[in-house]
A = this chain, B = another copy of it.
């Protein structure tokens, strides 16, 4: 009964066409790359903060759970799925206005439906002195959704918690809350100083279920005078350790200021092609000999690091020198700038005429999206790895949900230190192999002291055995990470109960806050807060 009444009231507010409980729609939102998803009750599409307020008030009146999403592209971490069945999805994709772009102070104020591509294009035109910072979530992913999940970008503005400044939030009772200085009438510093006065509430609304964020201010990175991508390749597995030790002081001292990815061969191979089912006779994981030949074919190292040096011309020149000194002796170090990239493309075209240049072409293919990301240009490339274990050989859509990809991203955080890299890899690698999975992994430097390891568990959702193995692997790896002391920076809905022990004072406090702000547990029940 409460649902019927709530639906009728939502229809009053939003009109019929923005309330849907149709089976095909519901099924679309129930899709996931995880082993198991959840099925919502239906979907609402508010277009304004007032409509979100009305939606929430109706839900509170009838005690019907809501699950807000920005665009629903939380691939690898649960997509658009709520932790529990039966919630009404509040899809904010139609709140897609860019409310302000300030080309003097360098910021943009956006709604949750604004995609990376959309803001990227507007910033290029309206604030040409600045770059948007882009995450690897793809051109059509929401910026707000990703910031709230604390995803990371690639320029020196990649820590989005640090480079956001002020939220507008609809609370469970329909009130609108502005954080920072934003709640003071006429406050002139609301977009430039993040903390306001009194407690800082912003952090509460990331990775939680305490409110619906309807506006966010993100800072833009001042376009640097000079930019050079670097690429470091080491041939042997164990060379990753001295590499990590060499990178830490560079990052600490601010010589490296972009995200730096250190990926193994598999991480790059899986983004360039699918699993060689023929060459392996269907066996998994990838036999060492096949892996080696694929590695050779693409000209890759056992580990491959990339990042960019950006700043004034003289800063970049100095940084090039420091990088050469520190990592030059450890492996092969290459620098790429706009000119060199253009040259490389011309060379490939030329070589192709003679049936040559395959390795170079592959390298460019792997390089170019990353080059763009480091300049804040969105790309779908990081999603390609999701197709690795598909059985089909034909072309599939890029959207991993439409392609039928299975994908789980583990994201343990570790100190930027060789000993932790070693400990982590020794802990997780055998568990992936034992279940027949390869382990494509990237370590990304997140700040001056820590990095996240993104472990890719790719599987084929059309193969029940794959789903079962992935699910078991997920549990085993999670247990191992917990014991080893490497919690993830982000969770899948399936992982939430595994990491949120309500006996722990932290989750106890989070629960208390949840009860205070949302006593009926209307908003995203079970999401992060237990």
A201 pairs with B198, CB closer than 8 A: no
Chain A interface mostly: loop
Among the 9-residue stretches A23-31, A32-40, A99-107, A231-239, the one with 4 or more Cβ atoms under 8 Å from chain B is A99-107
Taking CB atoms and an 8 Å cut-off, the chain A residues in 299-323 that contact chain B are: 311-312, 314-315, 317-318, 321-322
Q: In the complex, which of the residues B225, B414, B510 contacts A188, with contact meaning CB atoms closer than 8 Å?
A: B414
A193-B106 contact in complex given A204-B204, A206-B199, A507-B198, C-beta closer than 8 Å: no
Q: Which residues of B contact A508 (CB under 8 A)?
A: 175, 177
A189 close to chain B: CB less than 8 A: yes
- A202 → B minimal CB distance (Å): 7
- A172 → B minimal CB distance (Å): 11
A447 pairs with B311, CB closer than 8 A: no
- A177 → B minimal CB distance (Å): 4
Q: Which residues of B contact A488 (CB under 8 A)?
A: 197
A314 pairs with B314, CB closer than 8 A: yes
Among the 9-residue stretches A89-97, A120-128, A252-260, A468-476, the one with 4 or more Cβ atoms under 8 Å from chain B is A252-260
Which residue from chain B places its CB closest to the CB of A245 in the assembled complex? Answer: B104
B192 pairs with A150, CB closer than 8 A: no
- A161 → B minimal CB distance (Å): 6
Scoring A residues 175 to 211 as 1 if CB is less than 8 Å from chain B, else 0, what string do you get? 1111101011111110111111111111111111010
A529 to B200 Cα, complex, angstroms: 11
Q: In the complex, which of the residues B204, B222, B416 contacts A199, with contact meaning CB atoms closer than 8 Å?
A: B204
Interface size bucket, A side? 35 or more
Q: In the complex, which of the residues B179, B197, B415, B500 contacts A207, with contact meaning CB atoms closer than 8 Å?
A: B197
A504 close to chain B: CB less than 8 A: yes
A254 to B309 Cα, complex, angstroms: 13
A210 pairs with B204, CB closer than 8 A: no
Which residue from chain B places its CB closest to the CB of A209 in the assembled complex? Answer: B199
How many of these chains are in the complex? 2
Among the 9-residue stretches A78-86, A354-362, A374-382, A513-521, the one with 4 or more Cβ atoms under 8 Å from chain B is A513-521
B449 pairs with A219, CB closer than 8 A: yes
Among the 9-residue stretches A283-291, A363-371, A399-407, A479-487, the one with 4 or more Cβ atoms under 8 Å from chain B is A479-487
B448 pairs with A188, CB closer than 8 A: no
Q: Which residues of B contact A207 (CB under 8 A)?
A: 197-200
A417 to B491 Cα, complex, angstroms: 41
A487 to B190 Cα, complex, angstroms: 10
Q: Which residues of B contact A201 (CB under 8 A)?
A: 203-204, 506, 509-510
Q: Which residues of B contact A196 (CB under 8 A)?
A: 487, 489, 506
A481 to B450 Cα, complex, angstroms: 41
A71 close to chain B: CB less than 8 A: no
Scoring A residues 423 to 435 as 1 if CB is less than 8 Å from chain B, else 0, what string do you get? 0000000000000
A277 close to chain B: CB less than 8 A: no
A293 close to chain B: CB less than 8 A: no
A443 close to chain B: CB less than 8 A: no
A449 pairs with B485, CB closer than 8 A: no
A528 close to chain B: CB less than 8 A: yes
Q: In the complex, which of the residues B195, B225, B254, B512 contacts A516, with contact meaning CB atoms closer than 8 Å?
A: B512
Chain B CB within 10 Å, residue with most, of A200, A206, A311, A485:
A200
Chain B CB within 10 Å, residue with most, of A176, A449, A504, A528:
A449
B510 pairs with A198, CB closer than 8 A: yes
Chain A interfacial positions (CB closer than 8 Å to B)? 104-107, 150, 156, 161-162, 171, 175-179, 181, 183-189, 191-208, 210, 219, 222, 224-225, 249, 252-255, 257, 311-312, 314-315, 317-318, 321-322, 413-417, 420, 446-450, 482-491, 499-500, 504-510, 512-513, 515-517, 528-529
Known A-B contacts: A177-B505, A183-B506. Give 17 more (CB < 8 A).
A105-B416, A161-B200, A175-B505, A178-B505, A184-B487, A188-B414, A188-B484, A197-B487, A197-B499, A197-B528, A198-B491, A198-B499, A199-B204, A219-B448, A254-B257, A255-B312, A512-B516
The 6 A-B residue pairs with the shortest CB-CB distance, nearest first, are A200-B203, A314-B318, A516-B516, A186-B485, A192-B449, A183-B506
